[in-house]
Amino acid sequence: MSKNDFEPEQAITEARREFGEHGGVVPSIERSSTFTVMEPGDMPEIFAGKRGPDRGGCYLYSRHFNPTVSVLDRYLAAMEGTEFAVSTASGMAAITCSIMQLCGQGDHIVASNMVYGGTYALFNDLLPKYGISTSFVSPGDTSAFEAAITPNTKVLYVETVGNPSLTVADIEALSKLAKAKGIKLVVDNTFTPMIISPAKLGADVVIYSMTKYINGASDIVAGCICCDQEFGHSLYDLNTGPVMLFGPTIDPQVSFDIMQRLPHLAIRMREHSHRAQVIAERLDSLGIPVIYPGLPNHPQHDRFIRLANEGYGFGGMIAIDCETEERANKLLGILQNEERFGLIAVSLGYSDTLMSCSGSSTSSEISEDEQKDIGLSPGLLRISVGYTGSLKSRLEQIERAVKKLW
Ligand SMILES: *Cc1c(COP(=O)(O)O)cnc(C)c1O
C-alpha cells in the first residue's frame, strides 16, 4: 500500500476547464508571436514585468508568455501539484535552464551518476566551461549525496528512476537533506509521470522530457519545468531569466498537440506498467537477469512503493543484462527482425516497444572506464515496453527470443 494519496489524474482533470474562443471543448491555438498593446502608455509597465498576463495585464511577445503555451503549463502544474510550470522546446532545455538559474560561476552540483547521457555530458563536459562543477554519486545512496556536499553546492540532481540502471532515488530523504543544507533538489521524472510526483515528496524543481511518456507519440521534442511561482517567474525574467534569454521556446501548435495527449496519459502509464510487470515476471521466472522496480528482488522495490502514487504500477522501463554488447546486439536483432517484438531505437514512452543498448547509445557520453566504475554493464539492454499487440503474443515473442541466448 502506498502512503501517497495524491491523484495526478484527478488534479489534471479538474484543471482542464479551458474553452476555445467559441466555447470549443478544446482550447483555441493562439499563434501570434506578438500582441497588440491597446493603450500606448502601458508598454513600459509591461516591460517592467508589472503588467504580464499573470498579473491582470496583457500578452507581449510569445517567447515570454503565449496563451496556448500557458494552458499547457497550467495542466502540467496541476498534474505535478506545483504552483507553476514552464514548457520548453526540449527536455535538455528544461534541464539547462533550471541549472543555469540555480547555479553560477564557482557553484557546485551533486548529481546521480546514473543520469541520461545528455545530462551527464552537460554536467561533466559543458558546465565546467562556465565555472560550475559536479560530483557524481550513486543515486540509491542518500548518504553519498550528503558526503559530497561542499559549501558551494547549490543543487542535488537525480532522476527518480535512474537511466538506465532503474535505480530508485529516495526523493523524500534527499529533500530533507537539501532543505537542511539550504540547497535545491532538482528531479528529472521523465520515466515516471503520474506514477511518482516528486514535488509532493519535497523536490523543489521537477523536470520532464515530454518527448517521452507525456507526449507519448514519438513525434514531438519538448520539455517542462514544474516549480513554484517564484522560480517560474525567475525563469521568465526579462533581464535575467534563462528561458527568456536563452530562448528555448515551445511552439503553440506543439503545446496544443501535447495537451491533446494528456487526457490518456494515465491510461497509457497504467498499461505500460502492466505489460512491463508481466514481461519482467515472465523473464524472471525463466532465470533471465531482468531489472524492474516492480519485482520484489529489485533493490529499491519497497522504496518505489513508498514513493509512488496508488494505482499506476512501476513504470514501463525494464532492463536485461546481456553482459556483453555483442550478446545484447544479438538479442536486439532477434527481437526486432525475427520476432517483431519491438524497434531498435533510442527514446522511450512510445506506443510500440523501443529497445537500445544503453552503454553504446543513450549513455555513450559516459566513458567506458566511468561506465565500469558506476557498474553500467556494456550489455545492458534497455526496453521501453509498449502497449501495442496482444500481451499473449508479446510474451511468446520475447520468451522465444531469450531462449535462443540463455
Ligand atoms: C530523453 C531524456 C532527456 C532529454 O530530453 P530531450 O527531450 O531529448 O531533450 C532528459 N532526461 C531523460 C531521463 C531522458 O530520457
Last residue in a domain, options 243, 263, 283: 263
Ligand 1 midpoint to CA 91 (Å): 5
Q: Are residues 229 and 374 in the same domain?
A: no
CATH number (domain holding residue 369): 3.90.1150.10
The H or E element spanning position 174 is helix 171-181
Q: What's the structural domain count of the chain? A: 2
Q: Whose CA is nearest to atom 6 of ligand 1?
A: 91
Residue 194 identity: M
Judged on CB neighbours under 10 Å (0-12, 13-18, 19+), 121 is middle
Last residue in a domain, options 263, 294, 324: 263
Q: Are residues 179 and 310 in the same domain?
A: no
Res. 1: pLDDT tops 70: no
Ligand 1 midpoint to CA 247 (Å): 18
Ligand 1 midpoint to CA 350 (Å): 14
Q: Are residues 37 and 185 in the same domain?
A: yes
| Nearest-angstrom CA–CA distance, 243 and 233 | 10
Ligand 1 midpoint to CA 362 (Å): 10
Q: Are residues 219 and 338 in the same domain?
A: no
Q: Are residues 172 and 241 in the same domain?
A: yes
* Interval 279-324: pLDDT, tens: 999 999 999 999 999 999 999 999 999 999 999 999 999 999 999 9
Q: What is the pTM of this model?
A: 0.96
Please give all residues whose beta carbon lies within 6 A of any atom in ligand 1, as ranges. Answer: 90-92, 116, 118-119, 159, 163, 188, 190, 209, 211-212, 221, 223
CATH number (domain holding residue 214): 3.40.640.10
Q: Are residues 23 and 33 in the same domain?
A: yes
Last residue in a domain, options 263, 291, 318: 263
Q: Are residues 236 and 334 in the same domain?
A: no
Choose the residue to mutate in 163, 165, 190, 205 for probing ligand 1, maximizing ligand atoms within 8 Å of C-beta. 190
* Interval 195-220: pLDDT, tens: 999 999 999 999 999 999 999 999 99
Q: Are residues 74 and 176 in the same domain?
A: yes
Beta strands in 27-101 (DSSP E): 84-88
Ligand 1 midpoint to CA 116 (Å): 7
Choose the residue to mutate in 96, 114, 116 for probing ligand 1, maximizing ligand atoms within 8 Å of C-beta. 116
Pairing of the two strands 108-112 and 133-137: parallel
Nearest C-alpha neighbor of 77 from the set 46, 52, 54: 54
Q: Whose CA is nearest to atom 1 of ligand 1?
A: 209
Q: Are residues 175 and 254 in the same domain?
A: yes
Q: Are residues 341 and 375 in the same domain?
A: yes
Ligand 1 midpoint to CA 61 (Å): 27
Please calculate the CA angle 289-326-322 and round it to the nearest 5 degrees. 5
* Interval 99-157: pLDDT, tens: 999 999 999 999 999 999 999 999 999 999 999 999 999 999 999 999 999 999 999 99
Show the domain range for 342: 265-403
Q: Are residues 175 and 324 in the same domain?
A: no
The pLDDT of residue 364: 85
Q: Whose CA is nearest to atom 8 of ligand 1?
A: 91
Q: Are residues 64 and 199 in the same domain?
A: yes
Res. 396: pLDDT tops 80: yes
Nearest ligand 1 atom, CA 93? 9
Judged on CB neighbours under 10 Å (0-12, 13-18, 19+), 61 is middle
Residue 98 identity: S
β-strand partners of 381: 320, 357
Nearest ligand 1 atom, CA 223? 7
CA–CA distances in Å: residue 12 to residues 15, 198, 241:
5, 16, 27
Take residue 305 and report the three cell numbers written for it. Answer: 512503493
Query: Which one-letter DSSP state was computed for residue 34?
Result: B
Q: Whose CA is nearest to atom 2 of ligand 1?
A: 209
